[in-house]
Structure 1
Amino acid sequence: MAFVFTRYEDTWVALHKRAKECAKAGETVDGEVVMLCAHWEKRRGAVLELQEQLQQIPAFLSDLETITSRIAHLEADFEEMESRLLYLEDLCAQCEHQRFKHFQILQLENYKIKKR
């Protein structure tokens, strides 16, 4: 009977030893799973952030198109303003020329009056 108990005791010791080894391996695997979960959670957060940014692209493109259109209108307005400023500059030059001409005519008349 001692032989049977010894055999069961040896089996129990072996089973207990294997159970401890399995528990250690399980703890190691658990640690790695926790690290992997944390790593993939970070990745998931980055993917969600990227997804949010990608969803904003159509609105951004629409805003960019609106701004581009406004810039084109501003460019046309600036060209028109430049044209009008050039016209005003020409008018100012003509007015100055007319004043100078009028001044010269007055001087000529004054000269004729003095000469008489």
Structure 2
Amino acid sequence: LMLLDAAYPPLQGGGTEMQVRTLSRALRARGHRVTVLAPLTPGGVQQRAGRLDGVPVCRLPYPRLHLVGGVWLMIRLFLFLISRRDRYDAWHVHSPRRLGAVAALLGSWLAKPQVVVKVAS
């Protein structure tokens, strides 16, 4: 599971987003099941579920309200990870921000040793 704290695919640029895309394609080409999880952001693709390069992409909607929106997104991520905890062998977080904090704490709580949080940018 690739976790990204930004629009995916990016509207323009997006080095971290391109790393997610490159890794996802390469892992899929080697026979791994890969999913990208990102927030549903304004201006980005407005589908909650889709595919890019054959890789499933899930986007979590959340309200764009100061303080409330970020908390809502973290709760949505928490529920997503709990409900699918046995589906993915590894969680690769591409940002140490909100999603990284939730994944690292939840991974520790679930004794999931395959949580990788990469510091980017």
Same fold (TM over 0.5): no
The structure richer in helix per residue is: 1
Greater share of strand residues, 1 or 2?
2
Rg larger in structure:
1
- TM (normalized to structure 1)? 0.19
Q: What TM-score, normalized to structure 2?
A: 0.18
Bigger RCO (CA 8 Å, 6+ sep): 2
